[in-house]
């Protein structure tokens, strides 16, 4: 039996040339930015909003040093989200136990930065002419992907997303 690709399309905002889209999670509109150079997803807003959007998230023993948000590297706690899902109509992309670094900073352009590593088992494409959108395609599976930390002691230096298929 041949597997067919699942395709998710997210219309991008016209904010500069960044790959930002709005997505609703648990009744909250969340601005997400796909970052092809990021090794770990990063929550960029307040702790209160994070807890509202992801009420089942739990703080782990990991920490992460984050750079690229200013002049200095910042240390952040790492949280685990039991099930992270992006969906459109009948297509769903799920990651179990997604690890997210939390900066809890004032608004810096997006609420949640999505790392390229989250999509390592997918093909991503950004269309730039006409209708700007982020396209995520992956082989159809009956189970979610799983996330684990790439770590050195208690420092999460990245994430790995895999499936046991």
13-64 pLDDT, tens digit per residue, is 866 667 899 999 999 999 999 988 888 999 999 999 999 999 999 999 999 9
Domain of 40, in residue numbers: 5-162
Note whether 137 and 6 are within 8 A (CB). yes
Whole-number pLDDT of residue 56 = 97
Contact 98, 81 (CB under 8 A): yes
Residue 1, pLDDT score: 33
Q: Do residues 133 and 127 touch, judged by C-beta distance below 8 A?
A: yes
Give the pLDDT score at 15: 61
In angstroms, the CA 148 to CA 133 distance is 28
- Strand-pairing partners, residue 102, are 43, 77
- Whole-angstrom distance, CA of residue 84 vs CA of residue 94: 6
Is residue 118 pLDDT above 50, yes or no?
A: yes
Residue 117 three-state SS: helix
Percentage of the chain modeled with pLDDT above 90:
41
Q: What is the DSSP string of 41-84?
A: -EE-S-HHHHHHH-TT-EEEEEEEEE-SSSSS-EEEEEEEEEEE
pLDDT of res. 95 = 93
Total domain count, the chain: 1
pLDDT at 128 (0 to 100): 67
Helices (H) and strands (E) in the chain, counts: 1, 12
CA distance 56 to 143: 20
Predicted confidence band of residue 2 (pLDDT cuts 50, 70, 90): very low
Closest CA to 18 of 38, 30, 34, 29: 34
Higher pLDDT, 28 or 3: 28
- Integer Cα distance of 90 and 1 in angstroms: 20
The CATH number assigned to the domain holding 149 equals 2.40.70.10
105 pLDDT higher than 70: yes
Q: Which two tokens stand for residue 1?
A: 């039996």
pLDDT score of 125? 85
Tell me the average pLDDT of the chain: 86
């Amino acid at each position: 039996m041949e597997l067919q690709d699942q395709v998710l399309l997210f219309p991008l905002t016209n904010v500069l040339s960044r790959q930002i889209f709005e997505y609703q999670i648990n009744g909250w509109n969340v601005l997400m930015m796909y970052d092809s150079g990021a090794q770990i997803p990063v929550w960029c807003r307040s702790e209160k909003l994070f807890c509202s959007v992801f009420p089942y998230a739990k703080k782990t023993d990991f920490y992460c040093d984050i750079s690229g948000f200013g002049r200095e590297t910042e240390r952040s706690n790492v949280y685990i989200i039991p099930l992270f899902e992006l969906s459109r109509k009948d297509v769903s992309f799920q990651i179990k136990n997604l690890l997210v670094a939390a900066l809890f900073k004032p608004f810096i352009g997006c609420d949640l930065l999505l790392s390229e590593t989250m999509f390592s088992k997918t093909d991503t494409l950004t269309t730039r002419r006409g209708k700007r959108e982020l396209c995520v395609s992956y082989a159809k599976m009956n189970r979610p992907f799983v996330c684990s930390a790439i770590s050195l002691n208690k420092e999460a230096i990245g994430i790995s997303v895999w499936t046991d298929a």
